[in-house]
């Protein structure tokens, strides 16, 4: 494997201030109390899936690994913390030397997860692990939400091509992360060049309505685009009159016209009319691409339409109504002292509400039925039962502070296809429901 297989490793600034102030003040208090170096285990998980979702999708793992590697405090950051009197001088000296030296295990990117699944397990001293809470959660919560929406859209598309085009509907940096997560969840390409540059995701794009409006006639616009991009380009045909535009497009580009794009109107009706017209004009190989505020439900409603590809923006980059997964990062075990060989003690928050957690360093495995279909997410502490051996879900990601599990983004994408295929068929239903399999605690 060479570096190109992993996408371009662009320079990433320090992620150390992508955090909440109380992470640093906890470190200060723990250093003073002598508990900062106690061996600790933190886990990232969600207590429930977003309402109506049947499964979750792990995405952002690769970005988490980058964030952990780049989590360090430079002189300017230390100066800021000193000026603002965020923490005291001994803590500043400790932060100046910070590098994560612990271990991280987690569900591999593209895998599915359920309530309680220990999606990420971070082990090391209390101080070095607690600092990573905010940045880990910000990445996992965002990327997993986008990937889950993408997965539902991919299932609804039934193998038809999906294009992510939501960069203009979100923050410029989250747009890149969204394109990456969408690719993991089943999308085929993105309009965002930064995502293509950084992660090697295929990029697409031709023209907008502005290009047509720029020219004196629609024919002039089509002719200019075909002269520049070739007959295989995609022409946008709904600026004025769709039927006239389709006729002009085929006359100018010929039957070799690559595709037409429809961005408004009754997409089901218009797609059928355009397909009929293209065939009558001899452009039987010309594809139809539809856009216009699509989500998984709109995509499913077009299943019977002669559509070849969908372009999705707003609903994808906002998680199709669920922009976060509500993952949390909790201390589940810690040593009784700072001694290296001190045994771990399970710890857990007690709550009268729904925020209680389960203590202990956990493993997870997926039990399947005689047909190989998942029937339960089993989570436990201690030894893995013999009947679940070989079905453990967590893999080693970081060992002694060194990343050991980087992989091409296509590997996560392929893993998701396999993981989703291993779920009961009802997982693909768009109707609201409970998680498609239950969580059991061993």
Q: Please name which of 246, 270, 241 lies closest in space to residue 260, comparing C-alpha atoms.
A: 246
Q: Which tokens sit at 73?
A: 């405090």
The pLDDT value recorded for residue 3 is 38
Q: Which tokens sit at 328?
A: 């949390």
pLDDT in tens, 178-203: 999 999 999 999 999 999 999 999 99
Please report how the helices 61-69 and 409-421 are oriented relative to each other, as an axis angle in degrees rounded to 10: 140
The pLDDT value recorded for residue 11 is 54
Residues 177, 183: Cα–Cα separation, whole Å: 10
pLDDT at 431 over 90: no
Say if strands 120-125 and 39-46 run parallel, antiparallel, or are unpaired: antiparallel
Are the beta carbons of 366 and 376 closer than 8 angstroms? yes
Instruction: Give buried/exposed letters for 411-442 (b at 16+ CB in 10 A, else e).
Output: bbbebbeebbeebbeebbebeeeebbbeeeee
pLDDT at 5 over 50: no
Overall average pLDDT of the 426-437 stretch: 92
With the CA atoms of 411, 12, 175 and 18 taken in that order, what torsion angle do they form, in degrees rounded to the nearest 10?
110
Residues 380, 389: Cα–Cα separation, whole Å: 13
Phi, psi dihedrals of residue 68, rounded to the nearest 5°: -65, -45
Q: What count of other Cβ atoms lies within 10 Å of the Cβ of residue 403?
A: 15
Are the beta carbons of 149 and 184 closer than 8 angstroms? no
The CA distances from residue 380 to 229, 326, 342, 361, 397, in Å, are 57, 22, 21, 8, 20
pLDDT in tens, 110-150: 999 999 999 999 999 999 999 999 999 999 999 999 999 99
Phi, psi dihedrals of residue 271, rounded to the nearest 5°: -60, -45
Q: Average model confidence (pLDDT) for the chain?
A: 95
Are the beta carbons of 312 and 165 closer than 8 angstroms? yes
pLDDT in tens, 345-385: 999 988 766 677 889 999 999 999 999 999 999 999 999 99
Please provide the size of the chain in residues: 442
Are the beta carbons of 42 and 332 closer than 8 angstroms? yes
Structure letter (DSSP) for residue 302? T
Please report how the helices 21-33 and 89-96 are oriented relative to each other, as an axis angle in degrees rounded to 10: 110
Say if strands 287-290 and 309-312 run parallel, antiparallel, or are unpaired: parallel
Q: Which domains does the chain have, with CATH numbers?
A: 3-131+326-441 (3.20.140.10), 146-321 (3.20.20.70)
How does residue 432 score in pLDDT terms, banded at 50, 70 and 90? confident
Structure letter (DSSP) for residue 164? E
Model confidence, pTM: 0.94
Secondary structure of residue 121 in the 3-state scheme:
strand
* Burial class for 326, CB neighbours closer than 10 Å (0-12, 13-18, 19+): middle
The pLDDT value recorded for residue 306 is 98
**Under 8 Å CB-to-CB from 266, ≥6 apart: which residues?**
none
Over the Cα atoms of the chain, what is R_g?
25
Residues 235, 133: Cα–Cα separation, whole Å: 47
């Amino acid at each position: 494997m060479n570096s190109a297989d992993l996408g371009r490793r662009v320079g990433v600034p320090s992620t150390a201030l992508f955090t909440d102030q109380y992470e640093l003040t906890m470190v200060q208090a723990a250093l003073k109390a002598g508990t900062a170096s106690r061996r600790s285990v933190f886990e990232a998980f969600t207590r429930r899936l977003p309402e109506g979702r049947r499964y979750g999708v792990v995405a952002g793992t690769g970005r988490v690994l980058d964030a952990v590697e780049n989590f360090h405090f430079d002189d300017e950051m230390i100066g800021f913390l000193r000026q603002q009197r965020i923490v005291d001088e001994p803590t500043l000296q400790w932060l100046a030397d910070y590098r994560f030296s612990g271990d991280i295990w987690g569900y591999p990117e593209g895998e599915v997860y359920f309530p309680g699944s220990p999606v990420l397990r971070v082990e090391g001293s209390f101080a070095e692990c607690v600092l990573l809470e905010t940045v880990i959660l910000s990445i996992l919560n965002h990327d997993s939400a986008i990937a889950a929406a993408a997965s539902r859209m991919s299932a609804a598309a039934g193998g038809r091509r999906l294009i992510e085009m939501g960069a203009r509907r979100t923050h410029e940096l989250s747009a890149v992360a969204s394109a990456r997560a969408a690719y993991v969840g089943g999308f085929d390409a993105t309009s965002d060049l930064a995502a293509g540059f950084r992660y090697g995701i295929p990029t697409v794009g031709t023209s907008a309505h502005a290009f047509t409006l720029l020219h004196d006639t629609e024919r002039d616009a089509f002719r200019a685009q075909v002269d520049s991009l070739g007959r295989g380009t995609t022409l946008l045909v709904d600026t004025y009159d769709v039927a006239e535009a389709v006729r002009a497009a085929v006359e100018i580009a010929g039957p070799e016209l690559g595709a037409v794009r429809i961005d408004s109107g009754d997409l089901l009706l218009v797609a059928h009319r355009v397909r009929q017209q293209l065939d009558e004009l001899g452009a039987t190989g010309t594809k139809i691409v539809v856009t216009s505020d699509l989500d998984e439900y709109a995509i499913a409603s077009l299943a019977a339409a002669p559509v070849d590809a969908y372009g999705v923006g707003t609903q994808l980059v906002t998680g199709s109504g669920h922009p976060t997964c509500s993952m949390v990062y909790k201390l589940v075990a810690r040593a009784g002292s700072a001694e290296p060989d001190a045994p771990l003690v399970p710890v857990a928050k007690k709550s009268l509400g729904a925020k209680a957690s389960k203590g202990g360093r956990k493993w997870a495995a997926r039990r399947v039925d005689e047909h190989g279909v998942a029937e339960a997410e089993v989570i436990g502490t201690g030894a893995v039962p013999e009947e679940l051996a070989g079905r453990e879900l967590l893999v080693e990601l970081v060992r002694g502070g060194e990343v050991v599990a980087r992989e091409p983004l296509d590997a996560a994408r392929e893993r998701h296809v396999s993981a989703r295929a291993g779920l009961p068929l009802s997982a693909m239903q768009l109707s609201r429901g409970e998680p498609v399999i239950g969580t059991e605690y061993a």
